[in-house]
Amino acid sequence: MLKLSTVASSFFGSNMPIVTHMHPENGHCRFCGAPLEDTFVDLGMSPPCQTHIEPHQLHHMEAFYPLHAFVCAKCFLVQLKAYIAPQDIFTEYAYFSSYSNSWLQHAQAYTEAMVKRLGLSVASRVVEIASNDGYLLQYFAKKGIPVLGIEPAANVAQVAIEKGIPSVTKFFGAETAKELVASNSHADLLLGNNVLAHVPDLNDFVRGMKLLLKATGVITMEFPHLMRLMEGNQFDTIYHEHFSYLSFCTVERLFAAHGLTIFDVEELPTHGGSLRIYARHTEAVSMPVSAAVETLRTREFGAGFGKLEHYRSFRNQVGNTKRRLLETLIEIKRKGKRIAGYGAPGKGNTLLNYCAIRTDFLDYTVDRNPYKQGKYTPGTHIPIHPEDRIRTTQPDYVLILPWNLKNEIMEQLAYIREWGGKFIVPIPEVAIYE
């Protein structure tokens, strides 16, 4: 096995500085401060993916920003320039985690596993960063374990509070961590699901976790795995609220720079392939580093994640996927068939805008989230309806935009087979399911 010192030296160089408060809008890496010059993939111009359009806004101007991802030649962090401030994305948010049944099951299973593994009890405290609508903390609370959510979107946090989940409406970083520590809110378990990629100042964020974690506490973070993103052509997971795209080795280096050691890692099927990392204070040596850490580190290194050429190859995959999807949709429309969409997720809006799919291809899309219903997709202006619109209009095809939930959605919409309806799944390869 390659040890951390060997791999880190090969990946990052032996004297890589950690630059604080350096952001890509200045043309520098948000982790190490090196100049950003190498393209990972350029998806053109796109509007913020969660700014769903009200009917009265249809004829107003929309803001479009470059969706151009770079890779740092020094630390290999893949990242977007932060054209949009987090306050403009997350202060009021359209994503509510509880609308996905499979995600709730994932959260409940995680709760059971952590209680058993860490021995959590009524004397423990679980703190979640980006706690959304209380979708996860509710399961710890039901066991009598004290919880606290940290959620910047006031409209989403309010739903959690109404469920009885104590929530702080703040962005997380070192300052928020200091405030919580002052109120005796140290965490035995500090977790964050799909938040690390949303953070423009990674160093401040990880510094805050270090401050908030008890001396014997454990951090778990889940995030989409860059290796799986590349293997699966998952370019649609690139959008403005995802500032970074994370390999294991780069995250390991980031945590180590702030006195945190990743001691275990699990590979998950969620979001097209994710990692769950377990971290502790570096000095908490009673939790040894598992073989899984060294195995994954070695695998990434062997796959080329320490070479720029590997990252540069992705752009060709993306262009080919776009062309295949458009060829499929054009052929269906030439036959006079009707296509509806399912979902209005962030990834779907990247796909629609990059591929220029508008109402000339999709009559409409549907979403279970009432917050999105009656609005239009950003940029492409496809109307968003409740799900029963599909049964009423009986489209010939349904394009599944949240393809990572395709099994759940195809089961949910199995009734379209009554009229011969079929499903289109765009990623990783365009496929039609009857």
Any idea where the domains of the chain sit in the sequence? Answer: 4-82, 90-301, 314-433
Model's pTM, two decimal places?
0.85
Q: Which of the pair, 4 or 393, is modelled with greater confidence?
A: 393
pLDDT at position 1? 34
Residue 21 confidence class, pLDDT cut points 50, 70, 90: very low
Average pLDDT for residues 165-169, to the nearest whole number?
A: 94
* Spatial contact of 384 and 373, defined as CB atoms under 8 Å apart: yes
Average pLDDT for residues 350-372, to the nearest whole number?
A: 96
Whether the per-residue pLDDT at 390 is higher than 90: the answer is yes
Question: What are the tens digits of pLDDT across the range 398-418?
Answer: 999 999 899 999 999 999 999
Encoded amino acid at 159, one letter: V
What is the second-level CATH architecture of the domain 90-301? 3-Layer(aba) Sandwich (3.40)
Average pLDDT for residues 116-123, to the nearest whole number?
A: 97
Please give the mean pLDDT across all residues of the chain. Answer: 91
Give CA separation, 182 vs 95, 251, 388, in Å.
31, 28, 50
Same fold, 90-301 and 314-433: yes
Whether the per-residue pLDDT at 84 is higher than 80: the answer is no
Taking alpha carbons only, the member of 332, 366, 355 closest to residue 427 is: 355
Partner residues linked to 213 by β-bridges: 187
Residue 99 confidence class, pLDDT cut points 50, 70, 90: low
Q: Which of the pair, 21 or 430, is modelled with greater confidence?
A: 430
What does the block give as tokens for 75? 């630390």
Q: What is the CATH number of domain 314-433?
A: 3.40.50.720
Q: Which of the pair, 103 or 128, is modelled with greater confidence?
A: 128
pLDDT at position 95? 53
